[in-house]
Amino acid sequence: MTSTARRLLFFTALIVIWEIIFRVNLQTNFWATTLFPSPIGAVEQLYRGFFETGILRVALLESMQRISLGFVLAVIIGGVLGVLLATSKLADETLGSLVIALQPVPSIVWLPIALMMFQGGGGAILFVVVLGGTWAMTLNMRMGIKNVQPILIRAARTMGYKKTELVWKVMLPASIPSALTGARLAWAFGWRALMAAELIGRGGLGRTLMDARDFYNMDLVVAIMFIISAIGLTVEYFIFSKVEKRVLSRWGLNTSNS
């Protein structure tokens, strides 16, 4: 049995058990039926939200636009900062300390400030998403360049490479596996920051989820949670995992026989 088949079987079993518990609860009223949604009801809300009302389609498009732009900005900003910290001792001792201090701070903490800065617009949510991913990208990029094998640098210097050429032709290519890890974390942190920010802000899946909660539409709440999880799984297994395998194979770091 393949990994995909095992995963499908596992999630199918979970949904079946969930539906059984839901139907038992209908008879026993152990929980309030309005607070214990049905997986079938969630699927119905998915269909209605995408093909009838269009609510989920619009919300998903808005969230994907935000995370796409935020992720790209986080990777670019974090990548540049990481290179700067790795190649400049002064920057590492000053700016690097600030990055390390800010990295543990949850990005959602910045939302109240961002809402005032951007007058409550979509820029506030984008700001939080960028912050959510930038520090992870910065630290992983820095670590990747710092851990470049000294023999590669010595060989490049022997060939006459100057500092700029060392960075672009030796350090950056050698640090790509770490940069990929940073991008992966930037996506994960950025996606979580987006959902949290939209719960408080406006528009997107997060705001739609809060509206569904306010109207006690728990089936729609679960439907949106399905979408959020499905996007996370899709990006992880169909984008980052495939890119990671190719990168590790290209760099001779893939020890798997599969």
pLDDT, one tens digit per residue, over 192-238 is 999 999 988 788 999 999 999 988 899 999 999 999 999 988 998 88
Of the spans 66-75, 111-120, 225-234, 243-252, which averages the highest pLDDT? Answer: 66-75
pLDDT in tens, 130-145: 999 999 999 999 999 9
Position 258 confidence tier, pLDDT thresholds 50, 70, 90: very low
| Number of residues that make up the chain | 258
Is 56:222 a contact under the CB 8 Å cutoff? no
**Which pair of structure tokens corresponds to residue 53?**
């009302």
Give the per-residue pLDDT at 252: 66
What is the spatial distance between Cα 90 and Cα 93, in angstroms, rounded to a whole number?
A: 5
Give the per-residue pLDDT at 253: 61
Average pLDDT over residues 11-27: 90
Give the per-residue pLDDT at 3: 78
Instruction: Please identify which residue in the block is written with the tokens 């190719």.
Output: 246
Average pLDDT over residues 32-44: 85
Average pLDDT over residues 159-180: 85
3-state secondary structure of 254: coil
Position 171 confidence tier, pLDDT thresholds 50, 70, 90: confident
Calculate the CA 197 to chain-centre distance.
13
What is the spatial distance between Cα 176 and Cα 164, in angstroms, rounded to a whole number?
A: 17
Is 56:114 a contact under the CB 8 Å cutoff? no
> Which pTM does this prediction carry?
0.87
Average pLDDT over residues 58-76: 96
State residue 175 phi and psi, 5-degree precision.
-95, 5
What is the spatial distance between Cα 206 and Cα 174, in angstroms, rounded to a whole number?
A: 38
Average pLDDT over residues 59-69: 96
Give the per-residue pLDDT at 254: 60
Is 129:63 a contact under the CB 8 Å cutoff? no
Domains of the chain: 70-248 (1.10.3720.10)
What is the spatial distance between Cα 97 and Cα 85, in angstroms, rounded to a whole number?
A: 10
